[in-house]
């Protein structure tokens, strides 16, 4: 076959090819948008578990989520900077937020300078939301510096 014996142009074949390319580009765009929208989903999920434990008055589980160590009772000396008693004073019934009756994850933000995510949570329908810092690498939590 030479250049002078090229196959006949088929417009249906060209149209199918263009449709497949457009569909592939659309799928890539949709996947990229979903990845961007849900980029902080793991951190928001940890914060949701934390507030659910507080809502259920399961302070020991909540503390385990806070320090990212479910077996914290086996080695409490590793968490001497923020002990369970301090945590209970902050998040227990006598703490700033009182008894957690309801909460809603409002969203999250990735500060430029930082290794974590700020998760914004409305607690007990208060006007001022709680801002929780969740580290990306180990999912430990602390009060947000922002």
What is the pLDDT at residue 75? 87
What is the pLDDT at residue 79? 85
pTM: 0.81
Confidence category of residue 1, pLDDT binned at 50, 70, 90: low
What is the pLDDT at residue 17? 93
Q: Which of 59, 45, 36, 70 is nearest to 132 (CA)?
A: 45
pLDDT digits 0-9 by tens, 49-105: 999 999 999 999 999 999 999 998 898 888 889 899 999 999 998 888 889 999 999
Q: Average pLDDT in the 102-118 region? A: 90
Rounded distance between C-alpha atoms, residue 68 and residue 60, angstroms: 12
The architecture in CATH of the region 41-143 reads Roll (3.10)
Tell me the C-alpha to C-alpha distance, in Å, between residue 43 and each of 4, 39, 62, 136, 138.
62, 9, 15, 7, 10
Tell me how crowded residue 139 is: count the other CB atoms within 10 A of its CB. Answer: 19
pLDDT digits 0-9 by tens, 10-43: 889 889 999 999 999 999 999 999 999 999 999 9
Q: Residue ranges per domain, the chain?
A: 3-37, 41-143
Confidence category of residue 130, pLDDT binned at 50, 70, 90: very high
């Amino acid at each position: 076959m030479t250049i002078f014996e090229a196959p006949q142009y088929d417009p249906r074949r060209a149209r199918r090819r263009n449709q497949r390319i457009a569909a592939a580009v659309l799928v890539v765009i949709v996947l990229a948008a979903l990845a961007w929208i849900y980029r902080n989903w793991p951190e928001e999920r940890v914060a949701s578990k934390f507030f659910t434990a507080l809502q259920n008055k399961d302070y020991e589980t909540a503390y385990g989520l806070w320090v990212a160590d479910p077996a914290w009772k086996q080695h409490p000396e590793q968490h001497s900077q923020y002990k369970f008693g301090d945590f209970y004073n902050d998040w227990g019934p006598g703490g700033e937020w009182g008894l957690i009756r309801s909460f809603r994850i409002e969203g999250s933000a990735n500060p430029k300078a930082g290794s974590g995510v700020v998760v914004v949570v409305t607690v007990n329908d208060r006007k001022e939301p709680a801002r929780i810092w969740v580290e990306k690498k180990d999912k430990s939590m602390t009060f947000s510096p922002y």
